[in-house]
A = this chain, B = another copy of it.
Amino acid sequence: MDTKRLRYFKTIADEGQITRAARKLQMAQPPLSQQLKLLEEELNVQLFDRGKRSLQLTAAGAALYEKAKIILGTIEDTVHEIKAMDSGEMGTLSIGVNKSCFYYLLEPMRHIRANTPNVKIQLREGDTYTLMQAMAERDIEVAFVRFPLNIEDFTVQYDAITLPAERYVLAVPTTHARSIEGVEVQMQHLSGIPLLLLHRTSGRGQYERVIGAFHRAGVQPNIACECPDAAMLLSLASAGIGAAIVPESTLQAFPTEGLQVFPIANMNVKAEAAIVWQRERYLSGPTRRMLERMRGIYGG
């Protein structure tokens, strides 16, 4: 049973006449008569009593009419839903995010909530490596991660929006802040302070780059703790365990009570981050919508 025939049938039943239904359907009357006949033959059922002049639904016709309303309504709703999903007005946005990049996600999330309330956001947290794998397994569509990516699977091509490079800062427990003079801290000064860094396997390239900066400056870092989670890092710092080195934006996404922040004066690496996705993959409407917007903000 075809949708078209069903729609024809319903219109005829609604109008009570083939001629009027044909007008409504913007077609001539004979083909409509023909299509009705074909539907009846297909179902092997008479749907209308051909009275003298007006048509009258038979029992079977009345039953089909009720069903037709449901079926056609469902189809229409479905088309709307699919189109809405694709336009980004509804659907699900599955994002992977690294806690150290969390700040960059705050604004787009607020925007999505405010403008497209029917869009659900699925968040997944993890380090760069985990998120890239999750993306390969299609658990997430895009990821907010730190560079470099250290991708292993080169069969897949990636697209990215680069987020602004930012300096690393030192988050020092307020109780220990007196030992630092001025508004900046010199790298040389850091050797005396127990440091909290992102875990080697979490940040991947990031860790090596920070350590590299220390070496280039001829400073031996005093690493108190490597931690896989940026929020945890700050929590440890405010607890007085040590001073955390984190990208500046990270401090804007998490509570900084008990912390005092100092730019690191002569540190010559910057933290880089990006929004990354698989190039060949067809992204959901909400995702595409968000990416377009982010591209507008940060440039392609």
A-to-B contact residues, CB < 8 Å: 1-4, 6, 43-46, 48-52, 56, 58-60, 63-64, 67, 70-71, 74-75, 78-79, 81-83, 85-86, 91-92, 138, 141, 155, 280-282, 284-285
Q: Which 9 A-B pairs have the closest CB atoms?
A: A59-B284, A67-B78, A45-B86, A46-B282, A58-B282, A3-B3, A49-B282, A60-B85, A60-B86
Chain B residues, Cβ within 8 Å of A51: 280
Is the beta-carbon distance between A78 and B59 smaller than 8 angstroms?
A: no
**CB-defined A-B contacts under 8 Å, sample of 26:** A1-B3, A1-B79, A3-B3, A3-B6, A43-B82, A43-B83, A44-B83, A44-B86, A45-B83, A45-B85, A45-B86, A46-B86, A48-B282, A49-B280, A50-B280, A56-B138, A58-B284, A59-B85, A63-B81, A63-B85, A64-B78, A64-B82, A67-B74, A67-B81, A67-B82, A71-B74
A177–B99 CA distance with the chains assembled, in angstroms: 104
A83–B280 CA distance with the chains assembled, in angstroms: 47
Is the beta-carbon distance between B138 and A75 smaller than 8 angstroms?
A: no
CB closest residue in chain B, given A64: B82
A52–B278 CA distance with the chains assembled, in angstroms: 13
Chain B residues, Cβ within 8 Å of A82: 43, 45, 60, 63-64, 67
Is the beta-carbon distance between B1 and A2 smaller than 8 angstroms?
A: no
Report A61 CB to chain B, min CB distance, Å.
9
A78–B138 CA distance with the chains assembled, in angstroms: 37
- Given A43-B83, A70-B74, 9 more A-B residue pairs with CB atoms under 8 Å apart are A1-B3, A3-B6, A43-B86, A44-B83, A49-B281, A56-B138, A59-B285, A63-B91, A71-B78
Chain B residues, Cβ within 8 Å of A155: 52
Chain B residues, Cβ within 8 Å of A138: 56
Q: A59-B92, A71-B71 are in contact. Are A4 and B1 (CB under 8 A)?
A: no
Report A166 CB to chain B, min CB distance, Å.
32
Report A49 CB to chain B, min CB distance, Å.
5
Report A249 CB to chain B, min CB distance, Å.
29
Is the beta-carbon distance between B284 and A1 smaller than 8 angstroms?
A: no
